[in-house]
Chains A and B, each alone.
Chain A
Amino acid sequence: MNQSLKKLNYSLLLEGARIIDPFNNLDEELDVLIEDCRIKDIGNIRSLSKTTQKIDLNGKWLCPSLIDMHVHLREPGEEYKETILTGTKAAAAGGFGAVCCMPNTNPVNDNPSVTRFIIEKAEKEGFCKVYPIAAITKGQKGESLTEFGDLKEAGAIALSDDGHPVSNANVMRVALEYALGFDMLIISHAEELELSKEGCMNEGPVSTMLGLKGIPSAAEEVAIYRDIRLCAFTGARLHIAHVSTKESVNIIREAKRQGIKVTAETAPHYFSLTHEAVIGYNTNAKMNPPLRSKEDVDAIIEGLRDGTIDVIATDHAPHSELEKDLEFPLAANGIIGLETSIPLSLELVRKGHLTPLELIAKLSLNPYKILNLHPSSLSVGEIANFVIIDPDLEFKVSKENLYSKSYNSPFLGKTLKGRAIVTVCDSFVTFDLLNLL
């Protein structure tokens, strides 16, 4: 963690917040006393020393550390889009205490030196914890496996060729099998490239209206089905990244019913926007997989509701004007997401799809469990790791207000409701919007 950050090494009472803690299955209005960087007490706290600073958190949520298990920090290689410093600042401002960064950097994170570079840089500069995900195949070329053992030892917590699918089914089978020996999670970017080739948005009425080459939903679904069958056959652990279609949800639901060890994530844009966001050739609505139909959005929400989709992760993908201020078919895929995840996800609670506890589980408990990580929870004696969310605070998404180095967001100019106001990571105050602490 960045050592210039302020530490909670004093006596602080967080008064009357609604504690939403899926680790302890707790949703209750309580006080939390922090002393010397640790949680000293939780409950209805009356007796205090005179020096204790008090903060009234009535109406605010106090949650354990959130993690975004799918981000692109762009460092090393594309520092003009994002760096470990700016990306983790954006994470802290978005309420996250940890992120997992994908390996499609330049050079690719396919060897321990890149993994260690990321970890060391994050330890020195970071505003949150950074867990690198290493590549499955060398150079993400889909041909030969990386050295899983070395990568794990260097600190990689999972493996993915994200950005590219592992097109060769046998390479994927071998990767899943080989990962068993190291108990490593394989994260699948599921895409049948022959079907999606040259496509730049979801294939359907909107692609026809705009005259843009479409990507059929089947390009994702057949790839997910393949990987799930390989997962079942090998007995490995598989996580499906960025699920975006109705049938993908159905396939995963059925696999889980069969007891296959598969988990899944979706991103806020897949339950917040449809392909209609592309109208006007808006390159900030271009990503892969693409925004889908209303029917798909409803199915994603249902998948979140019934637990088929375990995790909300943003696929934070910063790009500069160089990649985005272009003809639509030539523009890069991807949008930033760290700073809009909480307000978009809160919409699921406001619309009654999820309880606050279910939502926070998808942003903390579930991804931590999938990654075999054990963060310090909101329990007495633990080091302070939490986020304070004001669910009603409105803010405008703008180039100036974003901490990310890039501003390629389809929500640019929009006013969103609910955001993190304080983020504390290992007792460091990584974000304090209103200068409360």
Chain B
Amino acid sequence: MTTFMHRHILSINQLSVQDIDFILDTADSLKEILERPIKKVPTLRGRTVVHLFFEPSTRTKLSFELAAKRLSADTVSVSASTSSVVKGETLIDTAKNIEAMKPDIVVMRHFCSGAPHLIASRIQASVINAGDGMNEHPTQALLDLMSVKEKKGGFKDLKVVIVGDIKHSRVAHSDILAFSKMGAKVTVCGPATLIPKDVESLGSKVELNIDKALDKADVIIALRIQKERQGKVLIPSIREYALRYGINERRVRLASKDVLIMHPGPINRGVEMTPDVADATNSIILEQVTNGVAIRMALLMLLLSAEQDQ
């Protein structure tokens, strides 16, 4: 049997293809629990999961909390404001205080890239990165993999196109790493100002022309455009973005016939994609959300069983 030997989930980079297959298989078997009338198993009874969020989050936090609750773990949520540094307590002190209350897993979101890595090096509990700055969001990438695998059976030579603000997106970063690791061919597309330098080194191609990028795509992942960015140098207007890079019905037709439409949410309807595309039969946006709970259940379980093995 495959064993899972990781203490933390910080980056897609740390996971092997076998690790990812194992996580996806585990999530797949746990997903059935979510369909039961009584959606709870006793697997993690007596275990404690702390959700430490230094950045606003609705769905990721909800998804993690539900995942922990479905497995009967005790959960606590701390929404530290982004001003905790101003208040004087350092991140390390915050984490050490939480550590002193003996949690088993700390799920952490932070506005600084690398913050979960810093905490993981200082505390005994396992750390799951729930999004760090513009670095990574590994659980999102895993649920994206799961959603694609359910529909396509595998990843080999799939053309995955990620469209939008690649530069500031931790989802894009983790997705590029994850899909290319599993054998898919990843292309990123968006305004050149939102493409990070040397993104090819992560394993993706760059295509600035949206129509060319979408040609024969098997999967389209549209990313959220933060409305705050418009007019602030990087893009002139949301209107122009929607016109030039938004996913609409005409553009979807450029892709392969059974293309999957995905979005990590929350969607700006009419910006990243038109409403008809978001609601089309090939859109799996809500299935991503369901799979998110299953993936997070799998990770909680695997981290705690790995801990028992050691």
Contacts and interface: CB of A to CB of B under 8 A. Distances in A.
B201 A211 contact: no
B70 interface: no
A65 interface: no
Interface in B109-127: 110, 112-115, 117-118
Nearest to B132: A211
A171 interface: no
A213 B85 CA distance: 19
B106 to A, nearest CB: 15
A325 B89 CA distance: 12
Interface in A198-235: 203-205, 207-214, 216
Contacts of A208: 196-199, 201-202
Nearest to A327: B112
A212 B114 contact: yes
B218 interface: no
B197 A204 contact: yes
Interface stretch (B23-31, B133-141, B143-151, B238-246): B133-141
Interface in A260-295: 280-281
Is the contact region of chain B dominated by helix, strand, or loop, or is it mixed? mixed
A189 B170 CA distance: 33
A281 B90 contact: no
What bracket does the count of chain B residues touching chain A fall in?
20 to 34
A205 B201 contact: yes
Contact of A210 (B90, B91, B113, B199): B113
Interface in B196-210: 196-199, 201-202
B78 interface: no
Given A205-B201, A327-B91, A211 B115 contact: no
Contacts of B196: 207-208
A208 B133 CA distance: 12
A372 to B, nearest CB: 42
Contacts of A213: 134
Contacts of B69: none
Interface in B213-235: none
A437 interface: no
A211 B131 CA distance: 11
10 contacts: A204-B197, A205-B197, A208-B196, A210-B114, A211-B132, A211-B136, A212-B135, A326-B90, A326-B92, A327-B112
Interface of B: 85, 90-92, 110, 112-115, 117-118, 132-136, 170, 173, 196-199, 201-202
When A and B form their complex, which 8 residue pairs have the shortest distance between CB atoms, in order from nearest? A211-B135, A281-B114, A327-B112, A205-B198, A205-B201, A211-B113, A208-B196, A211-B134
